[in-house]
Structure 1
Amino acid sequence: MIHPALIKRQQLILLILSILIMVTIIISMGLGDSPLSYGRLIPTLLGQGSFKEEFVLFSIRLPRVIVTVLAGMGLALSGAILQAMTRNDLADPGIIGINSGAGVAVAVFFLFFPIKAGSFVYLLPFVAFIGALMTACFIYFFSYKRNRGLQPIRLVLVGIGFSMALSAAMIVLISSAERTKVDFIAKWLAGNIWGTDWPFIWAILPWLAILIPLTLYKANRLNLLGLSEPVAIGVGLSIEKERIVLLLTAVALAASAVSVTGGIAFIGLMSPHMAKALVGPRNQLCIPVATLIGGWLLLLADTIGRNLGNAEGIPAGIMAALIGAPYFVYLLMKKS
């Protein structure tokens, strides 16, 4: 039974986060190389803008903003699942190598499997999922001990090792590729939001529409997995079955996100921690808050990065890392 005061607190925080996301979306839509007057946003959204205003808003800004929010939500939810499932506060799809596995699969697909542009967008999440799933299976295998179960700290260390190895494999892959393809993969590695058109929204949206409700349905089982294994077994939970389902969910969320945004880490690390600080560790309360925090953080990072530096700006992945890396070091020091 969740205390009504906590539920009210969660609802208030969700409202505040929704407002923050909307305000950041409005700010983001007005900023860029072709500034759009904020006074013209609503008329343009209603179809009363000039050709230039409608082109900038509907073809450039709005798709990018929506993709960024959706991807941030996917990464945050993936991180929340991994942290609860492994009982490890340092688990994150970017840090433990899942994103890198998805990236290598996308790079191989992009370099060696020429396919029509119309199909390419919708196949990317599936390709990224296969690569991320294979990586997750290897990480799980090397982190699991028969007599002691999954080792949380070992999982992070093995994951970091896989992440480094896969990053090296990515460099080998692009070393002999064409210049144009190398440029694309380099942007992907930096976490540059590249899926900035409407088809990318339709490519990622079904994954979130299915997996977010599934995760909320599994929230109580995540709570049980966060306890010791004897307790979870004692209440009749099939631990390995639930872990496999939740691992597949986390991998699919992360893969669908990074397939359209590139390699972005730390969003999945920070968002669940911020949510727990706001509403406590109960996953029924924490997961919705973490999901919105992730969407807002990535949108904020992209909005700031896009308007700094040169004409191309700073990739959202780098901006997220500038915030997340010190936080990761803090968590490591706290855990030691």
Structure 2
Amino acid sequence: MDMWSALQKSRFTFLSLCVLLIVTFLYSLSTGILPVSFSSISQTIIGQGTDAERLVLIDLRLPRMLLALLIGSGLAVSGTLLQGMSRNALADPGILGINAGAGLFVVMTLFYFRSALHQLPLLPFVAFFGAILVAWTIYRLAGATSLQPARLLLVGVGINALCGALLIIFQLKMDPRDFQQATVWLTGSIWQADWSSVFMLTPWIVLFIPLAFMQSRSLNLLQLSGSLPQTLGLQVERTRKRILFVAAALAGACVAAGGGISFIGLLAPHIARRLVGPNHYSLIPVAALVGSLLVLLADLIGKNLLAPADIPVGIVIAVLGAPYFIVLLFRK
């Protein structure tokens, strides 16, 4: 199936998800410690709201929710790329340790250079370097030329544990205030999101999600068994490296903006695959929408379940994603 026929077939699903995403976005914008009516939202958008409504909606809730959309789409597409590249349904940047590697390098940078906290645009580059280093290590140890799904998962879990241990070491050396901030950030919290975080992450998403979509044909060919991909002219190892680069860039940037949010890269591709099938021309955009919706829903649950306390998005996603991962593990 070519690109246009795949997109045509998934058009209804795509539009339905867009509508659901918009409804969830507006509902989340109106709820919280200070409820805001939909009429007040519309008045604030056109510049006629009160100062309190502008503060709540424009300065606090809107950047937080936009960041949730960006992080969800980035992690979902990263997971889709990793699953397609490795032919492993359990591949996820969080499970494989790519998120932990990105987080480790960010924490190391903040530990040695505290001024880096005020250089937000630099953090995605630091996180990307950590993500790509960990991803490349996993790729080589799992067998680059004959990538085995089970071995990839085992190596990734081991690297994840190593990065987690190193993270704890650096956290214990921090002063109590920095330790608390790092702990909240690593759990995957976006409650302190502001416009600078949105502006920091947006260029990475705008650049790398289209690059990911451009790999759709290669990802479809990689699903073929044996030497068929090479027979059809695909340079397998070079293609895997290119896909790994894009996946690590997306995961690293999302970790820099929102911390260690796991399981989105696992859940979103599986849900999208059930909706539109395995063709990556339709799978990648639908997975991006599903990922955005999942993080937005997790944020909605987190800010309302124990209000006024705020549950980090990463914890909500982990509660939902861990059982799903266990079920998939037994099935595979």
CA distance in 2, matches of 1:16, 1:201: 25
CA distance in 1, matches of 2:67, 2:56: 16
Match of 1:281 among 278, 281, 300: 278
SS of equivalent residue, structure 1 residue 93: coil
- 2:175 is equivalent to residue 178 of structure 1: yes
- The CA deviation at 1:212 is 1.2
- Counterpart of 1:129 in structure 2 is 128
CA distance in 2, matches of 1:276, 1:22: 22
Partner amino acid, structure 2, of 1:193? I
- Counterpart of 2:33 in structure 1 is 33
- The CA deviation at 1:283 is 0.4
Does the Cα contact within 8 Å between 1:194 and 1:262 map onto a contact in 2?
Answer: no
CA distance in 1, matches of 2:3, 2:95: 34
Does the Cα contact within 8 Å between 1:69 and 1:295 map onto a contact in 2?
Answer: yes
SS of equivalent residue, structure 1 residue 32: coil
- The CA deviation at 1:115 is 2.1
CA distance in 1, matches of 2:34, 2:255: 27
- Counterpart of 1:106 in structure 2 is 106
CA distance in 1, matches of 2:229, 2:259: 36
Match of 1:269 among 266, 285, 289: 266
CA distance in 1, matches of 2:71, 2:217: 24
- The CA deviation at 1:35 is 2.2
- The 5 Å alignment of 1:168-317 reads 168-194=165-191, 196-309=193-306, 311-317=308-314
Bigger drift between 4-13 and 103-112 goes to 4-13
- The CA deviation at 1:7 is 4.0
Partner amino acid, structure 2, of 1:286? L
Does the Cα contact within 8 Å between 2:110 and 2:116 map onto a contact in 1?
Answer: no
Partner amino acid, structure 1, of 2:155? V
SS of equivalent residue, structure 1 residue 95: coil
Does the Cα contact within 8 Å between 1:195 and 1:261 map onto a contact in 2?
Answer: no
- The CA deviation at 1:145 is 6.1
SS of equivalent residue, structure 2 residue 173: coil
Distance 1:136 1:309, change over 3 A: same
Distance 1:298 1:276, change over 3 A: same
Does the Cα contact within 8 Å between 1:67 and 1:195 map onto a contact in 2?
Answer: no
Does the Cα contact within 8 Å between 2:109 and 2:116 map onto a contact in 1?
Answer: no
- Counterpart of 2:24 in structure 1 is 24
- 2:33 is equivalent to residue 10 of structure 1: no
RMSD: 1.6
Q: List gaps (5 residues or longer) in structure 2.
A: none
Q: List gaps (5 residues or longer) in structure 1.
A: none
CA distance in 2, matches of 1:333, 1:42: 48
CA distance in 1, matches of 2:270, 2:294: 13
- Counterpart of 2:148 in structure 1 is 151
CA distance in 1, matches of 2:173, 2:5: 59
CA distance in 1, matches of 2:312, 2:87: 31
- Counterpart of 1:70 in structure 2 is 70
Does the Cα contact within 8 Å between 1:144 and 1:151 map onto a contact in 2?
Answer: yes
Partner amino acid, structure 2, of 1:266? F
Distance 1:204 1:140, change over 3 A: same
- Counterpart of 1:165 in structure 2 is 162
- The CA deviation at 1:229 is 4.6
TM-score of the aligned structures, taking structure 2 as reference length: 0.96
- Alignment deviations for residues 158-189 of structure 1 (CA, whole Å, 9 cap, x no partner): 10111111111111111121111111111122
CA distance in 2, matches of 1:136, 1:195: 29
- Alignment deviations for residues 117-154 of structure 1 (CA, whole Å, 9 cap, x no partner): 55x210111010011111111111110165xx111111
CA distance in 2, matches of 1:196, 1:165: 29
